[in-house]
């Protein structure tokens, strides 16, 4: 049986635009919330968890609704089109509200301006503030006004390197954020409108994520789904890397741009999403490809003609299958608890603890994942999905465990290496976990089981930004990576007890005929 890579890539453009959006969202929204609205890490975590709260209910709902959809364009395509159009337009509108908040901060927003620093000092000199490292200080006791206004965002080291001044991120940034918090209280309508637009964006993204992901198993026979999911994730990583490269172009990670306008950046992201949607609409023939997949499955003996004739019918799982499904979903919760804590907080962690550009490190992780996706799909075909996932969980735990010991003085190459390992590990887990879930589904339940998968992942992502943010506020940002390593280690334990979800082989005696049939069907 051969995978049709061309079709899988085209289907993957839906996941490409999804990942492009979330890469931009996860990297920039926490910075806007903390830098411009003055929110604590805890409250920023609450806002960042909104999409996951909505997803708990909406992803299973819209996965199920798409299962029942009878639109001529297919079961999944209408959701993808409408959701993308609304999200892209609302993202651009969000930048205008961000600009409105920036106008409220015009007296304190200029970076390295002594006049702006003087205003910050006068407003906050009696305030008790908290540095990113967990140090509590009273600004007026820590610095005189002359000392405070002399601090600059960058400093030159003895070896001639220009680096972020720790005094700036430890003391100026918290003081400016306190001014931003005061401005938010004075102008609450701005933050209310900002959150309202976020909700519109998140609702629109939630309407089509399950349908977009369910489209791959709709058009791919079961034994080929790990390979196909590798291609889909490859497309998603491509979207993420492009956005990270745009982040470097716009210098979104620069401390000197912490008060920048995001209108141009968000506009480019929206255009990228719409371009991917156009490619998807012009090339993907969902109803035809789904029908041909059913014919392939019958020819290979993976489905009987009765199942193929009624692709929207459900089936009941055995008790052992239910147990495995629940253990897979619990494992998903645990590794997302660790992984999402890092992805949602790393931009802040890198800026304040490591004093490094987070874009480059994340690009390395994405690049490593891209290199790993296809080999991981082949490895899973040889040794099984479960064993491959367990290896990935071990790698992810090691990467987070080592990263927890790294500081601003550690070589950048070491953190980059740990993120490269994390990228390979996440590719190993991601390529195989979703196919394990939908392996247990019938054709009529693929959208629903896709919703189960995302309910598990989003349940973790609801809690982990808030819990990790609370711990970071209380004990300092250094707890981030140990926190992540603990949860990924627990996922290894639960995954050990899974007994179902590996792909079925093509029945003996069907392989030769299937190769011919599939070759004919996969030639466009």
Concatenated DSSP letters for 43-70? HHHHHHTHHHHHHHHHHHHHHHHHHH--
- What is the model's pLDDT at position 407? 84
CB–CB of 258/31 below 8 Å?
A: yes
- What is the model's pLDDT at position 119? 95
Name, in order, each residue with C-beta under 8 angstroms of 231's C-beta and a sequence gap of 6 or more: 3, 5, 8, 9, 12, 373, 374, 377
CA–CA separation, 427 and 40 (whole Å) = 32
CA–CA separation, 125 and 143 (whole Å) = 9
CA–CA separation, 292 and 312 (whole Å) = 15
CB–CB of 10/284 below 8 Å?
A: yes
Q: Dmax of the chain from CA atoms? A: 84
- By DSSP bridging, strand 136-138 and strand 154-156 are unpaired
CA–CA separation, 521 and 515 (whole Å) = 10
What are 355-393's pLDDT values in tens digits?
Answer: 777 778 888 888 898 888 889 888 888 888 899 999 999
155 forms bridges with which residues in the sheet? Answer: 163
- What is the model's pLDDT at position 60? 84
CA–CA separation, 274 and 406 (whole Å) = 39
Three-state DSSP class for 85? helix
- What is the model's pLDDT at position 308? 53
Phi, psi torsion values for 110, nearest 5 degrees: -70, 120
Q: How far lies 427's CA from each of 12, 43, 274, 430, in Å?
A: 15, 30, 26, 5
Q: How many CA atoms lie within 13 A of 481 on its CB side?
A: 22
Helices (H) then strands (E): counts for the chain: 22, 4
CA–CA separation, 4 and 231 (whole Å) = 10
CA–CA separation, 329 and 453 (whole Å) = 7
SS3 for 234-265, per residue? HHHHHHHHHHHHHHHHHCCCCHHHCCCCCHHH
Helix 263-283, helix 77-104: angle, nearest 10:
170
**Among the listed residues 469, 465, 491, the one whose alpha carbon sits nearest the alpha carbon of residue 479:** 469
Phi, psi torsion values for 155, nearest 5 degrees: -140, 155
Q: How far lies 463's CA from each of 12, 203, 347, in Å?
A: 29, 19, 19
Output the CA angle 32-15-446, nearest 5 degrees: 125
**Among the listed residues 339, 478, 340, 475, the one whose alpha carbon sits nearest the alpha carbon of residue 408:** 478
Q: Which two three-digit tokens encode residue 212?
A: 């977009």
pLDDT per residue as tens, the chain (524 positions)? 788 999 999 999 999 999 999 999 988 998 999 999 999 877 887 887 777 788 788 888 888 899 888 899 999 999 999 999 999 999 999 999 999 999 999 999 999 999 999 999 999 999 999 888 778 999 999 999 999 999 998 887 666 777 788 899 899 999 999 999 999 999 999 999 999 999 999 999 999 988 998 899 889 887 888 888 889 988 988 898 899 899 989 988 788 888 999 999 999 999 999 999 999 999 999 999 988 888 887 777 766 555 555 555 566 778 888 899 999 999 999 999 999 899 878 877 887 788 777 778 888 888 898 888 889 888 888 888 899 999 999 999 999 999 999 888 888 889 899 999 999 999 899 888 988 988 887 656 777 888 888 888 888 877 887 788 888 888 888 899 999 999 999 999 999 999 888 865 544 445 434 443 333 333 33
Q: Which two three-digit tokens encode residue 175?
A: 């003081």
């Amino acid at each position: 049986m051969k995978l049709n890579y061309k079709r899988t890539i085209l289907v993957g453009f839906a996941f490409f635009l999804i990942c492009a959006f979330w890469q931009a969202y996860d990297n920039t929204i926490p910075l806007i919330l903390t830098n411009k609205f003055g929110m604590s890490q805890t409250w920023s975590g609450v806002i960042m968890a909104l999409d996951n709260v909505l997803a708990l209910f909406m992803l299973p709902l819209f996965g199920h609704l798409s299962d029942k959809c009878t639109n001529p364009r297919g079961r999944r395509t209408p959701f993808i089109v409408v959701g993308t159009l609304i999200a892209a337009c609302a993202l651009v509108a969000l930048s205008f509200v961000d600009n409105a908040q920036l106008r409220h901060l015009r007296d304190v927003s200029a970076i390295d301006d002594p006049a702006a620093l003087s205003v910050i000092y006068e407003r906050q000199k009696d305030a008790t503030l908290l540095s990113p490292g967990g140090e509590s200080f009273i600004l007026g006791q820590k610095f005189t006004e002359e000392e405070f206004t002399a601090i600059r965002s960058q400093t030159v080291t003895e070896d001639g390197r220009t680096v972020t001044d720790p005094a700036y991120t430890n003391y100026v940034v918290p003081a400016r954020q306190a001014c931003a918090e005061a401005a938010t209280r004075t102008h609450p309508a701005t933050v209310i409108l900002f959150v309202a637009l976020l909700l519109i964006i998140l609702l629109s993204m939630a309407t089509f994520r399950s349908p977009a992901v369910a489209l791959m198993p709709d058009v791919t026979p079961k034994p080929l789904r790990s390979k196909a999911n590798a291609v889909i994730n490859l497309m998603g990583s491509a979207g993420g890397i492009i956005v990270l490269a745009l982040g470097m172009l716009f210098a979104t990670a620069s401390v000197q741009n912490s008060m920048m306008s995001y209108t141009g950046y968000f506009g480019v992201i929206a255009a990228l999403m719409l371009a991917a949607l156009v490619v998807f609409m012009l090339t993907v023939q969902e109803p035809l490809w789904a029908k041909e997949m059913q014919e392939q499955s019958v020819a290979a003996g993976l489905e009987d003609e009765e199942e193929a004739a009624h692709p929207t019918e459900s089936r009941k799982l055995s008790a052992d299958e239910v147990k495995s499904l629940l253990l897979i979903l619990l494992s998903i919760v645990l590794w997302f608890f660790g992984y999402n804590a890092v992805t949602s907080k790393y931009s802040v962690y890198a800026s304040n603890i490591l004093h490094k550009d987070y874009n480059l490190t994340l690009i390395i992780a994405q690049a490593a994942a891209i290199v790993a996706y296809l080999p991981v799909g082949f490895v899973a075909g040889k040794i099984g999905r479960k064993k491959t996932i367990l290896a990935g969980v071990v790698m992810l735990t090691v990467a987070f465990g080592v990263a927890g010991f790294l500081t601003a003085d550690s070589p950048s190459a070491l953190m980059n290496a740990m993120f490269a390992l994390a990228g390979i590990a996440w590719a190993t887990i991601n390529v195989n976990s979703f196919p394990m879930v939908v392996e247990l589904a019938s054709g009529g339940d693929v959208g629903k089981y896709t919703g189960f998968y995302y309910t598990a992942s989003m349940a973790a992502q609801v809690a982990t930004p808030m819990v990790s943010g609370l711990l970071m506020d209380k004990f300092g940002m250094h707890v981030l990576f140990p926190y992540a390593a603990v949860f990924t280690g627990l996922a290894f334990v639960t995954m050990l007890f899974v007994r179902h979800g590996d792909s079925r082989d093509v029945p003996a005696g069907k392989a030769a005929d299937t190769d011919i049939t599939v070759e004919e069907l996969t030639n466009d």
